[in-house]
Amino acid sequence: MKFRTFKRHFREGSKNIWRNSWMTIASIGAVTTTLLLVGAFLALMLNLNHVADNLEEDVQIKVLVDLTADDKEIEAVGEQIKDIAEVDTVDFSTKEEELRSLVDSMGEEGGAWELYEQDNPLNNAYIVKTTDPQDTMKIAGEIEKIDKVEKVNYGQDVVQNLFQFNEYARNIGLVLIFALVFTAIFLISNTIKITIMARSKEIGIMKLVGATNWFIRWPFFVEGLLLGVLGSILPIIILLTGYYYLDNSTTALDQFSFMTLLDFHPFAWQLAGLILLIGAAIGVWGSVMSVRKFLKV
């Protein structure tokens, strides 16, 4: 496409916005509201995914070695665990370390357990993490079959519910976002439909003198693109400002290591770029839908 032709399409697309100023304002307002909701859901969903990933990364398997196992058998258990392909890290914890950890975790009440230092009833243990947290249950099942393994703990019910909740949350978030995006496409499409209907005679004349459908379509594509981009500016400003203040005022969550927001840099700018891209795509796709149906004159 020649630059002169592109310039003409851009100029005509811009004029279409001014010619239908009230519909343009209504459309931009609707797109702004929709993109604000889409952006908020995106920020929420991405941060929930971040928290979910942190929780999943904290999932570990504690392998309790049989109390009757000698040093060689304990070492053999560790080697067999390391040989499992999906295992990422294996850390050994002696029964003394396990007792100290138990005492520390119980605070003042843990003092009673110090009486067992001479006759420690706890097991030596291996702390195992998998490469993919989703493999935790499968790997735990394999470890249970190893000789001299007394018990495998990984919070079975909690882990399974956690993975299911994360999956449901992600799917519901995607459905809501797609529904909002579809609504915005519908609004922009209706605006451009009105523009095309108002100029149907002009379009008919252009076709009679030899203008191709693509030559006629381009200004409407530009109009849809501009509507989408203009409608994304205010949501970007509001969301970036709100996220900045939220990111700097979450001290109440600092005590929970997994409850952390994505860093403002670069997440906020990625979110802004994504909203701008969604706005532009919504505008162009809305024009495609309307032009395809109403250009038959």
Q: Which of 225, 227, 268, 221 is nearest to 244 (CA)?
A: 268
Which residue's structure tokens are 């697309």?
13
Give me the pLDDT at residue 157, please. 66
Which residue's structure tokens are 């520390």?
104
- Judge residue 207's burial from the number of C-beta atoms within 10 Å of its C-beta, 0-12 exposed, 13-18 middle, 19 or more buried: middle
Q: What is the DSSP letter of 245?
A: H
List, in order of start, the domains of the chain with CATH numbers.
3-55+161-294 (no CATH), 60-153 (3.30.70.3040)
Structure token digits, residue 141: 């099942």
Q: Which of 103, 44, 54 is nearest to 242 (CA)?
A: 44
Query: How many whole angstroms separate alpha carbon 290 and alpha carbon 293?
Result: 5
In degrees, to the nearest 5, what angle opens at C-alpha 277 toward C-alphas 276 and 283?
A: 90
Q: pLDDT tens, 30-59?
A: 788 888 888 888 888 888 777 777 777 778
Q: pLDDT tens, 262-297?
A: 888 888 888 999 899 988 888 887 777 776 665 555
The helix (H) or strand (E) run that includes residue 67 is none
Reported pTM: 0.66
Query: How many whole angstroms separate alpha carbon 286 and alpha carbon 282?
Result: 6
Structure token digits, residue 278: 């969604």
Q: Which of 14, 7, 6, 3 is nearest to 227 (CA)?
A: 14
Give me the pLDDT at residue 183, please. 76
Q: pLDDT tens, 114-141?
A: 665 667 788 899 999 988 888 888 899 9
Q: What is the DSSP letter of 248?
A: T
The helix (H) or strand (E) run that includes residue 193 is helix 156-198
* Sequence-ordered list of residues with C-beta below 8 angstroms from that of 49, at least 6 positions apart, any chain: 166, 170
Rounded to the nearest integer, the mean pLDDT of the chain is 79
Query: How many whole angstroms separate alpha carbon 92 and alpha carbon 284?
Result: 58
Q: pLDDT tens, 146-181?
A: 999 999 988 766 777 777 777 787 788 788 878 877
